[in-house]
Amino acid sequence: MEMIHEAGLVVGAELHALLVNQALPGTGIDPEEFFVGLAELVAEFGPRNRALLATREAMQTAIDDWHRDHAGQPHDAVKYRGFLEGLNYLLPEGSDFTIDTTNVDPEIRSIPAPQLVVPATNARYALNAANARWGSLYDALYGTDAMGDLPNPGPYSADRGGRVVAWARGFLNETVPLATDSHAEATGYSVIDGALAVQVGPASIALAEPTQFVGFTGDASAPTSVLVEQNGLGIEIVIDATHQVGATDKAHVADVMLESALTTIVDFEDSVAAVDSEEKAQAYHNWLGLMKGDLRETITKGEVTFERKLNPDKTFTAPDGSTFQRTGRSLLLARNVGHLMTTPAVCDSDGNEISEGLLDALVSVLCAMHDLAKSDGNRNSREGSVYVVKPKMHGPEEVAFTNDIFTKVEQILGLEPNTVKIGIMDEERRTTLNLKECIRAANSRVAFINTGFLDRTGDEIHTSMQAGPMVRKGDMKGERWIGAYEDWNVDIGLGCGFIGRAQIGKGMWAAPELMNDMLDQKIGHPRSGANCAWVPSPTAATLHATHYHQVDVLEVQTELAANLAANGRRGTVDDLLQIPVAVDPSWSADEIQAEIDNNAQGILGYVVRWVDAGVGCSTVPDINDVGLMEDRATCRISSQHIANWLLHGIVDEAQVRATFEKMAAIVDRQNGNDPTYKPMAPSFDGEAYQGALDLVLKGVEQPSGYTEPILHASRLATKV
């Protein structure tokens, strides 16, 4: 890999070219100034980063020793809590406070809605996600199992189309009802004297709540669309008599477009494989294009080639005759990597890799300066902010470290203090226990907190690895700590004044093919008081958006805040410290084998794509051939779970190896239609297979149970 020397650093040629030729021009910062700033960032924060990681390791060693010393004894929760307090793992909680973050866009501070997560390395996916601000409800219903079944292959089915229209009309009746009658009986939509008039037979019917009508396109007497709104979210009823669906509709409604993914996390961490200068440059290139607004992707389907780019804003006529715009794009946040990993994309003068998180912090904000410079057009933040989600932080000290990093980044780049807003991922046990103090540490930056069940469970297992064998993975959601964790996160966010100021988020729906189940279950997230919850696709975002019309999240939050003031938090520290060790691990041999079969298959299915193809988070067939999302978080929990059972003798190494070989053959079959796929069986000696196996066999010794060190090494080995 070609390297270029700058300000005492050695920079990969691909990254250097991107920075000098694309990212820096237009920012007013010359290359020499930028690389001096990067060198200062590395010199000042690199030693602190290493010290924080050493603290993590020392605490984990102490916890391991505590459990070993108390092996065979009944768990003493009081002594255990006292031990964690003495270790400064569990810190005293300070006085109440309210965050004072300013210049936060309404998509984050006040309009609850779905949130997408998309890999930064895939330009097509990134554009699709950015353009998922508006989604077709008709398409989402027709093409998925949302109505209970999948469409048959072949041409358009009028019968299925009729079911879609009926479903959508029912949604309109629930969301924007008419004063009398039903949208299903409508024969036309028009605007009369600034009000929406819906023709039903000979009558002209108003909305039950006329203020829900906010705009239209075309002529008032025969609009091409009408825009209605509930809970801050737009619903555009598209009217087109020439459309296949609109031509047969009594009111010529051709589609119902929902404001869907109001926010999207462009992911430099879990969703991507970016292990060197080339791959980091590609991720930064796509983020830069999104921030400039000029990202393009040429796509060929059959004989048709077309260009994908960012959607423009939508222009409407207001009821009073004035015009206004609604943004056509999702508000984008960048998820940087955590504090653990280093990157060979930049090395210091001694050849040591620098912290990848420091590089992400400076470059992602540099790229966003192109958006900050805009006054119109494809703007991302209209409030002049940059949003960075920071994952896998352990406790308030690490959040304070992140806050200081961005203060330095703002100084290097000449930005106003607190231009950068951060999202705190509540996915590590030490952060959960000390969440209020974590928020305090970024009091003027925090715009987002979020729960992530999978990473949080992976850390739960690793932290208490020596305590005993953990319950089966499928039983984990029934454990006392997980319910307390989900409630605790919401209550603390509300207690710190997040209502109308910042997001409280929930985790991913990991089954992108099961939209009917998602519609049934994921409404629990807005009902829990969460402003947003993660979805795996633009289609899922459109369907999940219906939940935010059914539930007024801000009203729920107000009720929860009142309950919090009157009764205190719904979870306690003691609830959170309940260790999910199996009380009576008397599983049958078949149950044990089924558990490790499922875990091993998921690990292999993800790792083989990550290592051999450089594909991060993706839909991977599970052991039953059902497509599930797999990423480093799912891999972390699966590998740590087997490692825990191996440590405590529930399984032995021979059984683990035999299981991996059996599952490798299944994963090979599942990828049999991919001509570029390299089978793992029968040799079982490839980098992907060995890396997947090492995640388990070396799982106990991995820092916090993270998968990155092994995955990165395996991926780099395939690129040599």
Q: Whole-angstrom Cα distance, residue 696 to residue 675?
A: 29
Q: Whole-angstrom Cα distance, residue 551 to residue 46?
A: 45
Catalytic site includes residue 76: no
8 Å CB contact between 344 and 278: no
Q: Whole-angstrom Cα distance, residue 64 to residue 200?
A: 71
DSSP for 174-227, written as a single string: HHS-BSSS-GGG--EEEEETTEEEEEETTEEE-BSSGGGEEEEEE-SSSEEEEE
Strands 420-426 and 446-451: what pairing?
parallel
Kindly compute the dihedral angle of the four CA atoms of residues 671, 629, 268, 379, in this order, to the nearest 10 degrees: 120
Catalytic site includes residue 159: no
The one catalytic residue among 133, 631, 694, 715: 631
Helix (H, G, I), strand (E, B) or coil at 91: coil
Amino acid type, 478: G
Tokens matching residue 43: 């010199």
Backbone angles phi, psi at 422, to 5 degrees: -120, 150
Alpha helices in 70-214 (DSSP H): 77-86, 106-109, 123-130, 137-142, 158-175
Q: Whole-angstrom Cα distance, residue 110 to residue 528?
A: 16
Cis peptide before 709 (omega within 30 of 0): no
In Å, how far are 225, 330, 375, 378, 601 from 384, measured between CA atoms?
31, 15, 10, 13, 45
Handedness of CA 97, 98, 100, 105 (dihedral sign): positive
Handedness of CA 363, 365, 370, 373 (dihedral sign): negative
Alpha helices in 19-97 (DSSP H): 31-69, 77-86
The one catalytic residue among 133, 169, 335, 632: 335
In Å, how far are 89, 116, 347, 402 from 55, measured between CA atoms?
10, 33, 24, 16
Strands 304-309 and 296-301: what pairing?
antiparallel
Helix (H, G, I), strand (E, B) or coil at 275: coil
Strands 9-12 and 223-230: what pairing?
unpaired
Positions annotated as catalytic residues are 335, 631
